[in-house]
Structure 1
Amino acid sequence: MRMMLAPRARPGRLRRLRGAAVALLLLAAPVPAAQAAGTPQPDAAPPRTVPELADWTPGNGSYAIGPGTRLVAHGRAAREVARTLADDLRAAGEGRVPVTGGSPRDGDIVIDVAPGRRTLGAEGYDLRAGKRLEITGATGTGAFYGTRTLLQLLAGDDRVPGGHTVDVPRYKERGVGVCACYIHVTTPWLENLVRDMAYNKQNQLLLELKVKSDKHPGANSWGYYTKSEIRRLVALGEKYHVTIIPEINSPGHMDPWLEKRTDLQLTDSDGKPQPSRLDITKDEAFAYYTSLIDEYAEVFPAKSWHMGADEYMLGSDFAKYPHVLAYAKKKYGEKATPQDAFVDFINRVHAYATGKGKQLRIWNDGLTGANTVPVAAGTSVEHWLDVKTKPSELIARGYPVQNAAYSLYLVRGGFHTDTEALYEKAWDPRQFEGETLASRDGITGAKISLWPDNGRGETENEVAASMALPLSHVAQVTWGSAHPDPTYAEFTERAESVGHAPGWRNLTKPPVADGTYTLRDTRGRAEPAAYEIKRTADGYVTLKSTKDGDCLETRSGRLTLNVPLEPGSSVTRESCDPASTLQRWQLARTADGYRLTNAITQMSVYVTDDGRLQQYPADQKAPAVWKLTTA
């Protein structure tokens, strides 16, 4: 989740030597002939970017976009990169830069995809700045990342210092994980995240979420995403070279899908069903889960499928489910363990996903070593918890392993990663929970993970503000050096100097000024009411009634992750509490007025025929449209 309360500053490039300090240096050192003649000397330090340019050779002069600048590209892949760069240059305030296939001239930006440049790999690039600026990649993705560096350099000073870099990532997977698995994280917020990820050369967004199902409408509890929303997000990811990988956690944490499928819930020895656990011994349960894989494949083209496979027995143990052991012994013999039934389910999903052209991904905590049946070869393991089976053992067995360490987590209303401490000790993806490896071999990369355990603990904008530097840090350590600057303060300056990606939207600006307004429902179902509207520190608004001094809030209905996510529950006036996130609202302009949406539930205010206020997803009930007039 990569937003901030306000856009980060984009200061000009630092000038290292000024005033008396320059004079003292000139007196103390011999003066080269070229310098004595007035020729400017190139700065040996690489210009500041995130990630850092590890290989930088300074040159003379500088490059700047001028009125005659063109984007010169030949071939389909290069032209596609050039068109995206043209969009971003315009969003960055550089005007319309045309894309052409002509011969390059001074002042142009040249984009080239040269498959013969094998040393650049799939994502590296070569950038040269002088009278013209040239970016070369062995693939379109590599050339694209070169354009991200260009945009960052222009953000700092509108001018690129003369020089040359060959920039190649250390790790293949540079990721962010977002659990939108119960609550609804808004799509504008996710779109901002995709843009900023690409800007910092991160390439993998793992989303645990619910897509509104056509095949299983009974499972469509809020907050799902419509398929059209997902298609737009995936298209943005494809444009910006961010692969979006979906996750439906199973066989544990399946309560969002099993609420009305009690027949598929695991039942304990006392006959009590477990709403979050899928019964892995039932063929119908496997068929249900794989039907969800098929439906998600309609909107997610990624060649990976994340099944989670974590915390299946969280708060319980296999001894309470003797039929699971019976299933394992029947299939694998008398020496089988209940854990073998769990691994069997993973392997069956692996076989199904592989048959659909997708690599399976799982969390590591279920690999406790209590199984006799091995996890299928090729399964990618995301290591977040220290258990008996260590990363080194997984790598030795040939499994691709990603570092998803708990130390990189941000939990709403809970644990937040300590980025400064990680930076100062030069944390890198070799440092797993419980084990540090000497080599990068077998490690695919690392990701930072966002969880909504207390869904009302923080708003999206608050999470965004706390995440900006952690995300920059993970981008840095997965691409290059773990410690590019001597201090964390200097790394913070580096991250702030590049700012946000072009096209990033500031979601913290309410469309109306603070003041007292009368709200009128345009359909006349609700009585007009006067409210004092006031912006909150995180960029939402509160609505305080001038009649009774209470604030508009949603609190009724069943709670999920401490959030009232039940459509149709009441919107009421309650005693004002500045700390209550449930009293924070988003005002959004519409053609006829304003829509009012709760900042936490992401459901909009709907007015019943008898004038009561309720909350509903916008695709279930048309949100009320409000006219605001100054009271």
Structure 2
Amino acid sequence: MRAGRGRRRWAVCLLAALALFVPPALPASAHAPTSAAAARAAATPEVIPALTGWTAGSGTLQLQQGSRIVSPAAKRVPAERAPAKRAPIKRAQADAATFADDLAAATGLRLPVVSGGEPRAGDLVLRLDPGARELGAEGYELLVSDTVRITGATDDGLFLGTRTVLQMLHGQTVLPRGRTVDVPQYPERGVGVCACYIHISMPWFERLMREMSYLKLNQLWIEAKVASDDYPKTKFWGYYTKDEIRQLSAMAKKYHITLVPEINSPGHIDPYLQNHPELQLTDSSGAKSPSRLDITRPEAYSFYTGLLDEALTVWDTPYWHMGADEYMLGSDYAAYPQIAAYAKAKYGASATPQDAFIDFVNRVNAHVRADGRTLRIWNDGLTGENTIALDKNIDVEHWTPEAQQPPSALLAQGHQVMNSAYSLYLIRGGSKMKTQALYDSDWTPLRFEGETLTGPQPQVTGAKITMWPDFASEQTENEVEADAFMPLRFISQATWGSPKPAATYTGFADLANRLGHTPGWNNVTRLPLKDGTYALTLPDSAKRLTTAGTTQGAPAKLAADPDATWALSATPDGYYRIRAVRGGTTTGNCLDMVSGRRYLGAPLEAGATITQQSCSDNTRTQRWQLTTKGDTVTLVNAISQLGLAQNTDGLAVQMPPDTQPPTALRPVAR
């Protein structure tokens, strides 16, 4: 596993010694370099995260059509050792194919992949060397001479070395000769995405994972609901189907990313408890709390562990995150006397209500560990008011100060601790990371909220940025993607731990923009139609998308209306605004999604009617993603991520794709 427990940072002095090693003189390139290329060869390659060290050679290496990617060859081993030996080879061979695709996108060179054999000049050689202990679990050696040789002790390290080569090429086909040994300082270099309540599209997640791999980020926390067969009352949008979760797991494996899925409990569990009032925590006045699980009820524990067991049949992960944050947000334990009574009955007269909370977390931990996984929680539920101890083998993600349980106390108790600080949050439609201030202040994962640690801290596993959807209707996911560009690059640099590549944030941002997105980024088609006026017709019918009247709020429908047309115009974030046209005149009404139940401002009720509303540039629910298939398009709302479909009455409604796929419409230009 990538970000496994017990891994330790390699000593800085060892890295420095390796970086200062000067290789023998490298032969000059057969192609005389230009003055620009010569200058580039003499400098440390520009990559994010920066290299731990670089020893320049003489000249450059030109990749050509005759170059090849040489992947590790499988070796004959005794049968009893074959599974352990062949798995890294198999993954490395798959990574070679990914590398070939990325090189083609970056340079236009489509290089063949061969397995083993004697390298030729100009080849890119991928080499696994389990004995190279100085490389650790994710480090690699890169040597550019007559060949490009990437060596990793593991397939993870080998893959990360290919990411460096992609950045060094900068879309060209020339590499400076030289050598580096590059090892990360922290084993967990992460990103978090709360796809809680709302559904974030699968293409968005794939673009994120590709960006993460390009930047050597290796962990993705996702809070997302798996559509349950065992608990059908919990299935309401925005869930993910089990096939979608399998796809996310496959993507993560391809890009060497460890997934950390979460179902939050015992607080913030309303996405599951909405239709289970019997499990909701009830206060002393008899009022139920739909966001809180009643931890005193045995059936509540069975309900939660049943959900996680079902989810873990499709998540491919060594971890489970149970959240455990903000259980008493906006209230306190005194309003729920049954919790104190439960704690005292189980742990004695001196027990506190928080003992019941810790007890619930520890029981979930035992359940998760019995399945061979590690439990993770947020830190804010740990106030120090408990008399029983939290299990030491639970990893804690620290995001907010707790006076009685600062990071140093959690470390002293034996926990692995990840820095998930509030200062690293991107709030959808709300506050954003102050990335420039963090970079210019030399922020490191040792700077927690409320406490900065010093000296070696091997139990501090790393850090992550986290994206939250608090104001989901205020930004599209494409806008969130744009906001994350520099934070992703910052956390990559901060967690790799190498010297900063630029003294100031301005220089760092300039470098980031020069390097750009991962290869192939511009191949994503988001605007398949030119701006213009279109009739949106059913392919095998005279029916068109129209509205039941011309007034604001009139429902959209599919009906025989030969005059119904729509003006499509691209928005700055890659969607379309769809404006009604009547009698050849563009009206002030736009296709919108405002009906039905809302969560975090987002209209998420399946079957809710789509209407026309007064057009506004700032109304994100009026933005639609168009996807083409042949000569037809489908419409998906940019905020709800639900597709436009017709119900039995012919009205246009939004529906989950697994329940009713979006209706195919043929756009005919007018």
Q: TM-score, normalised by structure 2?
A: 0.86
Tell me how far 1:611 sits from its aligned partner. Answer: 2.5
1:67, 1:248 → 2: CA distance? 49
Instruction: Point out the more displaced range, 250-259 or 237-246.
Output: 237-246
Aligned with residue 567 of structure 1, among 606, 615, 620: 606
Structure 1 range deviating more: 74-83 or 151-160: 74-83
The equivalences for 1:448-467 within 5 A come to 448-467=465-484
2:512 partner SS: helix
Structure 1 counterpart of 2:123, from 108, 120, 142: 108
Q: What is aligned with 1:32?
A: none
Identity among equivalent pairs (%): 50
* Residue from 256, 262, 265 that aligns with 1:247: 262
Which letter does structure 2 place at the counterpart of 1:469?
M
User: Is residue 264 of structure 1 aligned with residue 264 of structure 2?
Assistant: no
Q: Does the 8 A contact of 1:508 with 1:540 survive in 2? A: no
- What is the Cα-based RMSD across aligned positions, in Å? 1.6
Amino acid at match of 1:510: L
**Pair 1:80-2:127 in alignment:** no
The CA distance in 2 between the partners of 1:165 and 1:555, in whole Å, is: 55
C-alpha distance in structure 1 between counterparts of 2:40 and 2:491, whole Å: 30
CA distance in structure 2 between the partners assigned to 1:550 and 1:607 by the alignment: 20
1:311 aligns with 2:326: yes
Q: Are the aligned partners of 2:38 and 2:60 in contact in 1 as well (CA < 8 Å)?
A: no
Contact 2:566 2:581 in 1 (8 A): yes
CA distance in structure 2 between the partners assigned to 1:591 and 1:41 by the alignment:
49
Which residue matches 1:10?
none
- Equivalent of 1:500 in 517, 524, 528: 517
Highest RCO, 1 vs 2 (Cα 8 Å, sep ≥ 6): 1
Give how far 1:506 is off: 5.5
Q: Would you say 1:588 and 2:602 are equivalent positions?
A: no
Quick one: distance in 2 between partners of 1:82 and 1:612? 50
Deviation at 1:229, TM superposition (A): 1.2
Contact 2:41 2:60 in 1 (8 A): no
**Partner residue in 2 for 1:166:** 181
SS of 2:289's partner is strand
Residue-by-residue CA offset, 1:220-250 (whole Å, 9 max, x unaligned): 1101111111111211111110011110000
Is 1:367 paired with 2:365?
Answer: no
1:61-102 superposed Cα distances (whole Å, 9 cap, x missing partner) = 212321111112333254333222123223333213222321
Q: Is the contact made by 1:423 and 1:482 (CA closer than 8 Å) also made in structure 2?
A: no
Distance 1:325 1:41, change over 3 A: closer
Q: Does 2:571 align with 1:536? A: yes
What is the match of residue 438 of structure 1? 454
Residue 578 of structure 1 corresponds to which residue in structure 2? 617
Which runs of 5 or more structure 2 residues have no equivalent in the other structure? 1-34, 75-88, 544-557
Spell out the pairing of 1:380-391 with structure 2 (5 A cutoff).
380-388=395-403, 389-391=405-407
The one-character-per-residue Cα deviations of 1:459-491 (angstroms, maximum 9, x if unpaired) are: 011111111001100011100236331111111
Aligned to 1:427: 443
Provide the residue aligned with 1:45 in structure 2: 43
**1:41 Cα deviation (Å)?**
7.7
Q: Quick one: structure 1 residues 40 and 290, their matched pair in 2 at CA, closer, same or farther if it must change by over 3 Å? A: closer
State which of 484, 488, 493 in structure 2 corresponds to 1:476: 493
Secondary structure in 2 matching 1:368: coil
Partner residue of 1:394? 410
Number of aligned residue pairs: 594
Whether the aligned pair in 2 keeps the contact of 1:269 and 1:320 (CA below 8 Å) is yes
C-alpha contact 2:137 2:153 (8 A) present in aligned 1: yes
Contiguous gaps of at least 5 residues in structure 1: 1-37
Point out the more displaced range, 425-434 or 527-536: 527-536
Tell whether the 8 Å contact from 1:42 to 1:58 is kept in structure 2 after alignment. Answer: no
State the AA in 1 paired with 2:528.
P
TM-score where L is the length of structure 1:
0.92
Report if the CA contact (8 A) 2:50-2:499 is conserved: no
Alpha-carbon distance in structure 1 between the residues aligned to 2:566 and 2:38? 62
2:65–2:111: 8 Å Cα contact kept in structure 1?
no
What is the Cα deviation at residue 616 of structure 1? Answer: 0.8
How far apart, CA to CA, are the structure 2 residues paired with 1:156 and 1:628? Answer: 36
- Residue 40 of structure 1, CA deviation: 6.1
Of 602, 611, 616 in structure 1, the residue corresponding to residue 641 of structure 2 is 602
Aligned to 2:549: none
Task: Give the partner amino acid of 2:110.
Answer: G
Partner in structure 2 of residue 65 of structure 1: 63
Q: Hey, what does 2:559 align to over in structure 1?
A: 526
Deviation at 1:165, TM superposition (A): 0.4
1:5 maps to none
**Which residues in structure 2 correspond to 1:69-468 (within 5 Å)?**
69-73=67-71, 74-75=73-74, 76-77=89-90, 78-92=92-106, 93-388=108-403, 389-441=405-457, 442-468=459-485
The farther-off stretch of 608-617 and 406-415 is 608-617
